C-alpha cells in the first residue's frame, strides 16, 4: 500500500522503517493511505489538504494531541498500528462531508468540510434570512450560525449546546450562535437536525465583516450574499479498530 505521513514529523522515520518491512511504500504524489500524526486539528488539516483526492485515499490517525477523537493509536502503539495494517484488522468508517457554496453577484465557490462551517460576525449583529429547501424559515439576528456534520457534532457544536449525533445518522445540524430573542425578534432558538438531501440557504444583504471558517480555515470571497450548505455525498474514509464504538469515544472524551 502507498501511504503518506501528515503532521508531526517526530515519528516519521520510525513509521517509515516499520511500514517498509511489511511492503508499504511512502508515496507523496499518489498515496492510498494518509497517516495523520497529531491531534484532531491535524487530522482536519489532512482531510482539507487532500480534498482534491478524497475519493482515492483513506485516513488513519496517531494521536500526539489531547482529545484525539479522529485517531486510533498513540505514538507508543506504532507496532500495534503496523500489525493493524498488515493484518487488515480494521473496518472502514465513512464520514460524510459538508458541502458549502459561497455566492456573490459574479461567482460562486464550493468546498467541503469534515467537521463544521462557522459563520460569525464579531463586529455587529448579523441579520440573516434562513431558508430550508428554498422555503423561508426565519429571520435571524445575532452573531451567526454553526453548521456541523454528525462526526463534527462533538466539537464546536457541542459547546453551543447542539445535539451529539451518531455518524451513521446521515444528517447535518444548524445551530444558532448568540441569537437575539425578545418580544420583537424571534428565532427557533434550538439546533435543527436536517436529513441528507435537504439544504440550507443563509441570505444576507450585508455579510461585511463576516468570518466564514471551515474546519479551522477561513474562507475569503468578497461581497457574498448567499451561503448554501448541505450534506455532501463525498465521504472521508477512516480506518478504525473493529471494536471501535462511537458512544465509547464520546464517553472517554467527555465523561471519563
User: Does the annotation count 40 as an active-site position?
Assistant: yes
Can you read off the three cell numbers belonging to residue 60? 488513519
Instruction: Write the pLDDT tens digit of every residue in 233-248.
Output: 999 999 999 888 899 8
| Domain-located, residue 250 | no
How many structural domains comprise the chain?
A: 2
Instruction: Write the pLDDT tens digit of every residue in 167-184.
Output: 999 999 999 999 999 988
241 contacts 74 by C-beta, under 8 angstroms = no
118 contacts 148 by C-beta, under 8 angstroms = no
Catalytic residue among 9, 27, 40, 134: 40
Tell me what the mean pLDDT of segment 26-39 comes to: 96
Residue 228: pLDDT band by 50, 70, 90 thresholds? very high
pTM (two decimals): 0.93
7 contacts 42 by C-beta, under 8 angstroms = yes
Q: Please report, for the domain that includes residue 114, its CATH number.
A: 2.60.200.30
| Residue 100 β-bridge partners | 111, 229
Q: Please report, for the domain that includes residue 42, its CATH number.
A: 3.40.50.10330
Clarify whether residues 169 and 81 are in a common domain: no
Clarify whether residues 84 and 132 are in a common domain: no
Clarify whether residues 49 and 140 are in a common domain: no
Clarify whether residues 41 and 122 are in a common domain: no
Residue with cell 470571497: 221
Clarify whether residues 24 and 110 are in a common domain: no
Clarify whether residues 188 and 137 are in a common domain: yes
Amino acid at each position: 500500500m502507498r501511504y503518506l505521513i501528515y503532521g508531526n514529523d517526530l515519528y516519521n522515520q520510525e513509521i517509515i522503517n516499520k511500514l517498509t518491512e511489511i511492503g508499504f511504500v511512502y508515496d507523496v504524489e499518489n498515496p492510498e493511505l494518509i497517516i495523520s500524526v497529531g491531534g484532531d486539528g491535524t487530522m482536519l488539516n489532512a482531510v482539507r489538504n487532500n480534498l482534491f483526492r478524497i475519493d482515492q485515499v483513506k485516513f488513519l490517525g496517531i494521536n500526539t494531541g489531547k482529545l484525539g477523537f479522529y485517531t486510533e493509536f498513540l505514538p507508543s502503539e506504532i507496532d500495534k498500528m503496523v500489525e493493524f495494517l498488515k493484518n487488515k484488522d480494521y473496518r472502514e468508517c465513512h464520514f460524510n462531508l459538508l458541502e458549502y457554496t459561497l455566492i456573490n453577484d459574479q461567482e460562486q465557490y464550493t468546498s467541503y468540510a469534515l467537521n463544521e462551517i462557522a459563520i460569525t460576525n464579531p463586529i455587529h449583529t448579523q441579520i440573516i434570512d434562513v431558508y430550508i429547501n428554498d422555503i423561508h424559515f426565519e429571520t435571524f439576528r445575532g452573531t451567526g450560525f454553526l453548521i456541523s456534520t454528525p462526526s463534527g457534532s462533538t466539537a464546536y457544536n457541542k459547546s453551543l449546546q447542539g445535539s451529539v449525533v451518531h455518524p451513521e445518522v446521515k444528517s447535518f445540524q444548524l445551530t444558532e450562535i448568540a441569537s437575539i430573542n425578545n418580544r420583537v425578534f424571534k428565532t427557533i432558538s434550538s439546533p435543527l437536525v436536517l436529513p441528507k438531501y435537504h439544504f440550507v440557504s443563509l441570505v444576507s444583504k450585508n455579510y461585511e465583516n463576516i468570518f466564514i471558517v471551515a474546519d479551522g480555515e477561513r474562507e475569503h470571497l468578497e461581497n457574498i450574499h448567499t451561503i448554501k450548505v448541505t450534506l455532501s455525498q463525498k465521504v472521508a474514509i477512516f480506518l478504525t479498530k473493529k471494536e471501535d464504538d462511537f458512544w465509547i469515544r464520546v464517553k472517554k472524551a467527555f465523561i471519563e
